Every structure is written in structure tokens, then in C-alpha cells.
A and B are shown apart, each in its own frame.
Chain A
Amino acid sequence: VLMFLQVLQEQMGPKLEKIYTLYRAALVRVALGLVKQPADAEDAVHRVFERMIRNSPRLEEPESLRTRAYLVVAVEHAALDILRERSGRAEVPLEEDWAGLEAEYSGENILADCILKLPVRQREVILLRYHQGYTQRETANLLEVSPGTVQDAEGRAKANLRRMLAERGVEV
């Protein structure tokens, strides 16, 4: 951990180091809920910070909602990457069955509720694009996928959102 902190400080400065210190344990808990193995959960969190060093996301203050939401999306993405790598194993479910973090929404914004119910890969693209404000190319860079994949995921996410809204009787 100390070595990792030293690397973070050298590569990204004190902000990332502070984020790591503040949220490491919480992120490991989130990852553990998805990958179930403590070693894999630690691995997922390290991947998040390695990607942040490589891809330099725009970070606000460590306590801000935008930073925290980014971290949740990033750790969910890294955890599911690990699951995909392990998918050859019999105990790991198929990719379409992977469940991300379950979140309950009690507000009045129906679209927000629909976003939370999207498949996890589509949800993270929508959040990065429309909450974090990244372009498709930046999103692809952060998720380490091709821009075409992001475009495809966003298109399917919007189609799904329209379908969900229609099912709830909301005209789009």
C-alpha cells in the first residue's frame, strides 16, 4: 500500500493520493460485493487507480459527488473486467447476467430510475457521458475500450431507456 501511495504521489500528485487514502477501503467493499474474492477486490481497486494514472480523468475535489460517482463507476467496471477474465471458470455467470451495484432510487425522476436499471455496461457509459461530461472518445479512453464500443453501448442504452419509459407510460 505504501509503495502504491508513493507511485500515486509521484505520478498524479497529492489529489489522487488523498482519494486513495479516503476511499480505498470503501472501494474494496464495493468490489468485494461484485467479485466475492478479497484478492480480486483489491486487484479491482488497484486497476482503478492504475487506469486513473494512465488515463488522467478530470478530478474535482475528493469529497465531491462527481469524483465519488466516477470512482463507483470505475470500480464496478474494473470488477466486471475481472469477472470477465474469470468467465472461463464454471462458477462465474454469463456476462449478460452480471449484476452491477444495486441502487434504489426513491425520487421522482423516472428517467433516473430507468438509468439505474440499465445493464451495468450501458449504465456506466451513460453516467460517464452525461454525469461526468466526457465525450465518447474520452469515455472510451477511461474505460479502455474502443470508441465504437462506447457508441454502441450508448445507442443501446438510449433505446433501452426509451423502451422503459414507454412501458411506464411516459411519452418520449
Chain B
Amino acid sequence: MIQDRDLRIAAEEAAKALVAAAELTPEKQFLKKVNRQRLRAELMLVWVFAVWAVGTAWHPIPLIAAALALGQQAVECIRARRLQTWSIAVVAVIALACWASLSGGAVRQLLGLLFHGLALAFAVGVCIREKRPVPWAVLLALLVLLSGWQNADAEHADVPPELGESSPFGLQVQLDRVDESGMTVTLTRPAGAGSLFADGQAEIVLYKDGKWNRLYSLDPGKKPLIPLPEDGSPYTLEVDWRSTYGTLEPGWYRVAVDVQRAVPGATFFQSSYFSVQFEIK
């Protein structure tokens, strides 16, 4: 037989647990909790931005932002007695920053883009969900402004922005080899592209002092255009630039090859370039 007194005591305990499970707190307390969660979300955004900024360019402003964000995170975690989470967060940030600083230019640039995209998507998402457009719009604007600053900063960095390879007239370009003496590229023309010609005389620019500079050509004479096979079979283009530019010194270069297409019924050619960026170490 269960005593009524025992039932009353147990029912009180059960009621406490039930109310806690229902999170039935007065609206003000609930809002406080929501605000805390929102603050955490905002801190997260600062944090993402700081890591992104640190990952793309060592600069005092993002470093200070990162330090502040981490400091605030620390206070939040100490208050919530979640020191372990905070420690993991700090280690993660430091690891990411170290990895970014040790990585090459392309990786660092990719990381920057990734974090930038994440931060913007996060801000837009929260802006829509939280229905608080003004503060988030301000943050968004700040991010866009800072992204402009970051891009401007990247122009002056040691590593030039990666442009990748273009494909004029749908031409497939595959870089097989590039070194200080020349390069080997396989070109495959698409069906219906018309008559295409590649200029064997590649033009090289050197990235120096934050700018692309044309290299002085020892042999400015034009070489004949090479017709690309009409049956669509791959054509291997060997470019040796020792006669025109000599052996290249260490640095970042971009080589551009002129591709021309004969315009049917006309006597002129359409011209386009594909470029390849590379580093001589």
C-alpha cells in the first residue's frame, strides 16, 4: 500500500521534473534564455568571421576581433560551466589559423572564400529567422565592407589571386607540365567550334609588388598560328619560352596563350586567351 503522504512528496518531485521538461518558465525568463541563445549565435558569427579573416590575411584587426570573440565565448562558457566546449573551440580556432597560415596561396584563398560564404549565409539565415533585420543588416554591411578591405588587402599579399584556367570557345585545356623552361598543354576542341588556331607564342606576366608585370620579350616576332585538329582529337602544345623570356626566376607567373577562331565567311579571326597561373620555386 502506497501511503498518501509518500505520494504527495513524490508527486511534488514529479511535478518539478515535468515543469522543467516543459521549460515552462515565465515569458520574461524565456526571452532572457532566447536572448542568451541569440547572443551565442551572434558570437558565433563574429567567431566565424574572425577565423575567416585570420585564415586569409594576418592583420591586427581580425586578430583583435578573434581575441574579443574568443574572450566573450570564454565568459559564456565559464558562466554556463562548459569549459570543455570552450577549450575545444580555442584549439579548433588556433589549429585553423595555423593551418591557414602554413597553407599555400590557393588553399588560403579557398579557406577565405569558404569562411566568407559561411559567415554571409549564417548572417542572412539568422537575419531571416530572427526577424531582426536592422542589427543583422548592419553586421552584413560590415562583413561586405570588410570583405572589400580583405580583397584589397589580398592584392598586396605575397600570393596573387588565383584566376584559374579559362576555356576560350569551349576549348578544353589541360596543363601537363610547367617549369622555368616552358610548358606542355593538351588542347581538345569541342564539336562545332569552327576552325581554331593556337598561338605558340605564349605571353608571360610576373606578379611582383602586388601587381602583374609584363616580362620583357627577347623575341617579339610572331610565330605562325597552329591549327587544332578538326576531328576533335587532343593536340599537345609544347611551349618553350627560353628563346623569348629566358629561364624564369622564382616567383608567381601567369602565361596567356592566344586562341583564334576563323569567322565563317569573313576574313578576320576572333581572338580569346586561356591563361595558366603557376609558381616557380
User: Which A residues have a C-beta under 8 Å from some C-beta of B?
Assistant: 21-27, 29-30, 62-63, 65-66, 68-69, 71-73, 101-105, 107, 109, 111-116, 123, 126-127, 129-131, 158, 161-162, 165, 172
Are B17 and A105 in contact (CB-based, < 8 A)?
yes
Alpha-carbon distance between A26 and B23 when the two chains are bound, in angstroms: 7
* Residues in chain A near residue B7, CB distance under 8 A: 111, 126, 130
* Residues in chain A near residue B80, CB distance under 8 A: none
A-B contact pairs, 20 of them (CB 8 A): A23-B27, A25-B27, A25-B30, A27-B24, A29-B23, A30-B24, A62-B26, A101-B21, A102-B21, A104-B17, A107-B17, A115-B11, A116-B17, A126-B7, A126-B14, A130-B4, A130-B7, A131-B8, A131-B12, A172-B2
Give the contacting residue for A103; candidates B6, B8, B17, B27; CB below 8 A: B17
Chain A residue with Cβ nearest B10: A111
Interface check B87, CB cutoff 8 A: no
Are A22 and B27 in contact (CB-based, < 8 A)?
yes
Are A109 and B27 in contact (CB-based, < 8 A)?
no
Are A65 and B19 in contact (CB-based, < 8 A)?
yes
Q: A65-B16, A165-B2 are in contact. List 4 more A-B contacts (CB 8 A).
A: A102-B21, A109-B13, A127-B18, A172-B2
Are B24 and A111 in contact (CB-based, < 8 A)?
no
Are B27 and A26 in contact (CB-based, < 8 A)?
yes
| A127-B14 contact in complex given A27-B24, A172-B1, C-beta closer than 8 Å | yes
| A68-B19 contact in complex given A130-B8, A131-B8, A161-B2, C-beta closer than 8 Å | yes
Instruction: Write the B18-50 contact mask toward A (1 if CB under 8 angstroms, else 0).
Output: 111111111110100000000000000000000
Are B22 and A101 in contact (CB-based, < 8 A)?
yes
Interface check B9, CB cutoff 8 A: yes
Are A103 and B12 in contact (CB-based, < 8 A)?
no
* Residues in chain B near residue A126, CB distance under 8 A: 7, 11, 14
Chain B residue with Cβ nearest A117: B14
Q: How large is the interface on B (under 10, 10 to 19, 20 to 34, 35 or more residues)?
A: 20 to 34
* Residues in chain B near residue A66, CB distance under 8 A: 15
* Residues in chain B near residue A23, CB distance under 8 A: 24, 26-27
* Residues in chain B near residue A115, CB distance under 8 A: 10-11, 14
Count A-B pairs with CB separation below 8 Å. 105
Chain A residue with Cβ nearest B9: A109
Alpha-carbon distance between A66 and B95 when the two chains are bound, in angstroms: 51
Chain B residue with Cβ nearest A102: B21
* Residues in chain B near residue A27, CB distance under 8 A: 24
Give the contacting residue for B18; candidates A24, A72, A109, A130; CB below 8 A: A72
Are A112 and B10 in contact (CB-based, < 8 A)?
yes
Are A65 and B2 in contact (CB-based, < 8 A)?
no
* Residues in chain A near residue B27, CB distance under 8 A: 21-26
- Report A20 CB to chain B, min CB distance, Å: 10
Are B11 and A158 in contact (CB-based, < 8 A)?
no
Alpha-carbon distance between A1 and B171 when the two chains are bound, in angstroms: 65
Are A127 and B22 in contact (CB-based, < 8 A)?
no
Are B24 and A68 in contact (CB-based, < 8 A)?
yes
Chain B residue with Cβ nearest A106: B17
* Residues in chain A near residue B6, CB distance under 8 A: 111
- Report B7 CB to chain A, min CB distance, Å: 4
Alpha-carbon distance between A5 and B2 when the two chains are bound, in angstroms: 42
* Residues in chain B near residue A68, CB distance under 8 A: 19, 24
Give the contacting residue for A127; candidates B9, B11, B23; CB below 8 A: B11
| A26-B17 contact in complex given A131-B12, A161-B2, A172-B1, C-beta closer than 8 Å | no
Give the contacting residue for B17; candidates A25, A112, A172; CB below 8 A: A112
